[in-house]
Amino acid sequence: MSTPLRETRTGTPADEAAGWPNRILVAGTAEAPEITLTGEWSLRGRVPRYDAVAAHLAQARRVRVSAHELTAWDTSAVTFLAALVRDCNERRIPLDQAALPDGLRRLLALAFAVPPAVPRAAATRPGLLATLGQATLSIGRDLSRMSEFAGEIILSLARFTRGRARYRREELAWLVEEAGPRALPIVSLISFLVGTILAYMGAVQLALFGAEIYIADLVGIGVVREVAALMTGIILAGRTGAAYAAQLGTMQVNEEIDAFRTLGVSPIDYLVLPRMLALVAMVPLLTLYAGIVGILAGMLIAVGVFDVGAHEYYNETLTALELKHFAVGLVKGTVYGALVAYAGCLRGMQCGRSAQAVGEATTSAVVLGILLITISASVLTIVFHKLGI
């Protein structure tokens, strides 16, 4: 039996205050309710949601929806009606929407024109052991890709030495300029400051014995042998390694690297090797330069603050430094440079195809670069020690 409803206005008193009665009117019977949209429906004002009338449809067998003096409507009205349509569809109740304005009816038709895609199953979270296993396996995969990439670079180097690698000389020149001369200001600044710190640290201790003159030994050997190479390596990891990863990563996003492959041009020959060579060529020079700047900084402190004579400092430096110290520093610097370029190019070439992936590649290039520098620094220090150099 149908219960006649008197014309009701939806909503609680609080809703009344918000002005909903001016939006929806429900009339008709419980079995055949009639919903009328009225007034101004705007997302910028307050609008009722479908929940506000859902209760009136609980016993409905058919529903009629219409509009009366609907002065303005936007997405809010469409959202309301879409929920009504969906509810009626789910409950298999016929919905008569012929009396709706043309635009609203057509938008509703459009919204339900394409059946929704099956939503993806929510990814199940693996357990702790599974996560650990996955992480271990991914390290293994990463290591194998890293050695593969190193192998490709060596093959490319072989082609290069036989003059068979294809690359552009102007680009190599640009890369050399970018990696070398343009890094001079930052290398100068950092080496100077590190030289100052070393001199101060050493001088305070040496002053206890009245042996300030040995600042020259400490700074000279320390800077030339270890610190210049290390600082240059780290600066280049942040400066050039990151740039390589971002450049190659963006090229990957733009499918430029695929374009090289389809032309039969090896992207390793064309993009990676010139970057490796540019950096490896520039790093020894930068390291040497950083060493000299560091020594000058030490001298400035020793002479200016600790009253060591400039001439004495100069002589002491000459006595302390041997060719082997320079050799060790340059070998280390070159190795660091190669590793930084390798890390940058590797991560750039492995980059995914989105802005986020480029960011990740750049971050990862710097982290990997510094990690490789640190590992190789330890290994080389031990090797040189065993060799007695």
Q: Does 14 bind other proteins (CB under 8 A)?
A: no
Q: Does 87 bind other proteins (CB under 8 A)?
A: no
CB of 75 to other proteins, least distance (A): 5
Q: Does 75 bind other proteins (CB under 8 A)?
A: yes
CB of 363 to other proteins, least distance (A): 14
Q: Is the dihedral of CA 24, 26, 27, 28 positive or negative?
A: positive
CB atoms within 10 A of CB 200: 15
Pairing of β 33-40 and β 95-99 = unpaired
Q: Does 83 bind other proteins (CB under 8 A)?
A: yes
Can you tell me the distance from the alpha carbon of 215 to that of 40, in angstroms, rounded to the nearest whole number?
83
- In the region spanning residues 343 to 362, those forming contacts with other proteins, defined by CB under 8 A, are 352-356
Q: Which two tokens stand for residue 105?
A: 């009816």
Q: For the chain, how are helix, strand and coil distributed in percent, rounded to 5? A: 70, 10, 20
User: 73 vs 260, which CB is nearer to other proteins?
Assistant: 73
Q: Does 117 bind other proteins (CB under 8 A)?
A: yes
CB of 207 to other proteins, least distance (A): 55
Q: Does 113 bind other proteins (CB under 8 A)?
A: yes
User: 20 vs 313, which CB is nearer to other proteins?
Assistant: 20
- Of 43, 130, 263, 389, which one interacts with other proteins (CB under 8 A)? 43
CB of 346 to other proteins, least distance (A): 21
Can you tell me the distance from the alpha carbon of 335 to that of 329, in angstroms, rounded to the nearest whole number?
10
Q: Does 140 bind other proteins (CB under 8 A)?
A: no
User: 118 vs 387, which CB is nearer to other proteins?
Assistant: 118
Residue 121 class from Cβ within 10 Å (0-12 exposed, 13-18 middle, 19+ buried)?
Answer: exposed
Q: Does 125 bind other proteins (CB under 8 A)?
A: no
Strands (E), the chain: 8-9, 24-28, 33-40, 63-72, 95-99
Q: Which stretch binds other proteins (CB under 8 A): 18-26, 111-119, 152-160, 281-289?
A: 111-119
Pairing of β 63-72 and β 33-40 = parallel
Q: Does 44 bind other proteins (CB under 8 A)?
A: yes
Say which DSSP state 213 is in: G
Non-local (6+) Cβ contacts of 330 within 8 A are: 229, 284, 287, 288
Q: Does 110 bind other proteins (CB under 8 A)?
A: yes
- In the region spanning residues 90 to 109, those forming contacts with other proteins, defined by CB under 8 A, are 102-104, 106-107
CB atoms within 10 A of CB 78: 17
Q: Does 143 bind other proteins (CB under 8 A)?
A: no
Q: Which stretch binds other proteins (CB under 8 A): 10-18, 42-50, 173-181, 195-203?
A: 42-50
CB 239 within 8 A of CB 305: no
Can you tell me the distance from the alpha carbon of 160 to that of 101, in angstroms, rounded to the nearest whole number?
72
By rule CB under 8 A, what count of residues binds other proteins? 30
Q: Is the dihedral of CA 145, 147, 153, 159 positive or negative?
A: negative
CB atoms within 10 A of CB 317: 20
User: 117 vs 129, which CB is nearer to other proteins?
Assistant: 117
User: 83 vs 296, which CB is nearer to other proteins?
Assistant: 83
Q: Does 154 bind other proteins (CB under 8 A)?
A: no
Q: Does 144 bind other proteins (CB under 8 A)?
A: no
Q: Does 320 bind other proteins (CB under 8 A)?
A: no
Non-local (6+) Cβ contacts of 323 within 8 A are: none
Q: Which residue ranges make up the site for other proteins (CB under 8 A)?
A: 43-44, 49, 74-75, 78-79, 82-83, 102-104, 106-107, 110-120, 352-356
